[in-house]
Amino acid sequence: MRGRIDAVDEQIHRLLNERARLAQQVGISKAHDGRTVDFYRPEREAQVLRQARARNAGPLRDEEVLRLFREIMSACLAQQEPLKVAFLGPEGTFTQTAVLNHFGHSVRALPLASIDEVFHEVEAANADFGVVPIENSTEGTVNHTLDRFLTSPLKICGEVELRIRHQLMGAMSALSRIVRVCSHPQALAQCREWLEEHLPGVEQVPVSSNAEGARTGRQPTKRIGNYKDPVLKPWAAAQMRASNEGALSSVEKIPFAAQARCYPGGVPGQLLFPFEPLYFIQTPKLVIMMWQRDQWVRRVHMTDKHSENLKPSWFGESIGRYENGNTLVIDTIGLATKNSYIDNFRTPHSEKLHVVERLTLEPDGQHLTGIATVEDPDTFNAPLTMRQRWLKTKGSMRETICAENNFDYFNQGLFPIPTAEKPDF
């Protein structure tokens, strides 16, 4: 009997390699320089799985047969280059399970911190596919995912259904010793009745994912800047250290982030907000940069000289010129300092901040690369260089208003959004 099993194993192995060679030839015949994503066809994979289920006569269960075939297809496809699949992380989430169930274990799974980041990575071609939650049977649709599809050129090409079971975990010996439950807001809502019955009065703390809540028992690691960086002047290092300590001690449950709290991001900070489109209007004397969120507008005057005695402002004064026919060079000074940082780690600057950005249209006409040089002799001991890359999107600008429903629902001590003392009309 063992001999027969060995013979079958040998035959299976031979057939697997033959299938891999055939898959490799299919990839070569489609394109010599195409990406792996060009060879992946979800509809073809679904057809193969349906056929496998139809011809399964046992004794293996249908689920086991489908799992085996999915892994075979995943391994064959990975011969060209493993698919890069972005998902709402961190590792250990239900979304990662959906990735592995749909694509198999031979893909390169990329955990990201938000649904916005998943969309951005796929739009920028840094990932081949993205997996995000879209609906659950108890709490309904995930509205943020649907909202992103309104403004994104991406399309849905497959779906995965998962049975969700939640487990309550802790290091304490009895339920009576629990003082807080950390979980994703969706999971807290799904388990609302159980929590009210068995843990009445226990604090419910929303976190970015169940996996992060299980790993830390608190909100995930926040953006913490390196205040020991030798490029920082002493006052800047001290300010960053104080900000870090406030965040880590939960004085600030959620540290300040300009775009999240409806403030302009400044220069170059606004360029680091990649989750909604940026539009350009070019005229001979003026280039207008407009962000979809809140329709923030930044003006670049096509001249070679800055004004005198500038009053500091959110975006300062920008002057520009063209280089090599494909690059817009923007020189900016006069930047205000209150609630203004050069990055998402709350790195401060002084009113001597001088930023030069080079926005270059890449040869494919579909990507824009931005390189910013930051100089501030009162804050930094040497110039800094930053880089961002965008993918050209299709469609018109939509109205997205940051302040709508942007309240502190979970008492996280969020930085207050800007409000007017009296109505404008």
Q: How far apart are CA 160 and CA 249, in angstroms?
A: 39
pLDDT, tens digit (0-9, with 9 covering 90-100), for 367-412: 899 999 999 999 999 999 998 888 887 777 878 888 877 777 666 6
CA neighbor of 118 nearest in space, from 97, 87, 144: 87
Task: Report helix, strand or coil for 8.
Answer: helix
Say if residue 119 is in the same domain as residue 217: no
Tell me the pLDDT band of 249, cut-offs 50, 70 and 90: low
All residues at 6 or more sequence positions from 174 whose CB lies less than 8 Å from its CB, including other chains: none
Residues 95 and 131 in one domain: yes
Last-in-domain residue among 28, 56, 80: 80
pLDDT digits (tens, 9 = 90+) for 60-99: 887 777 777 777 777 776 666 677 888 887 787 888 888 8
Residue with tokens 């400044």: 266
Please write the tens of the pLDDT for every residue from 94-139: 888 888 888 888 788 888 877 888 888 888 888 888 999 888 776 6
CATH assignment at residue 42: 1.20.59.10
User: 309 lies in a domain?
Assistant: yes
Query: Is 271:296 a contact under the CB 8 Å cutoff?
Result: no
AA identity, residue 358: R
Residue 424 inside a domain? The answer is: no
Whether 230 and 311 map to the same domain: the answer is no
Query: Residue 291 sits in which domain range?
Result: 259-391
Amino acid, single-letter form, for residue 29: S
Q: Which of the listed residues 131, 164, 197 is the one where a domain comes to its end?
A: 164
Q: Angle 218-224-229 (CA atoms, 0-180°, nearest 5)?
A: 155
**86 and 123 co-located in one domain:** yes
Number of domains in the chain: 4
CA 248 to the chain's CA centroid:
23
What are the tokens at 59?
């004794």
Reported residue count of the chain is 425
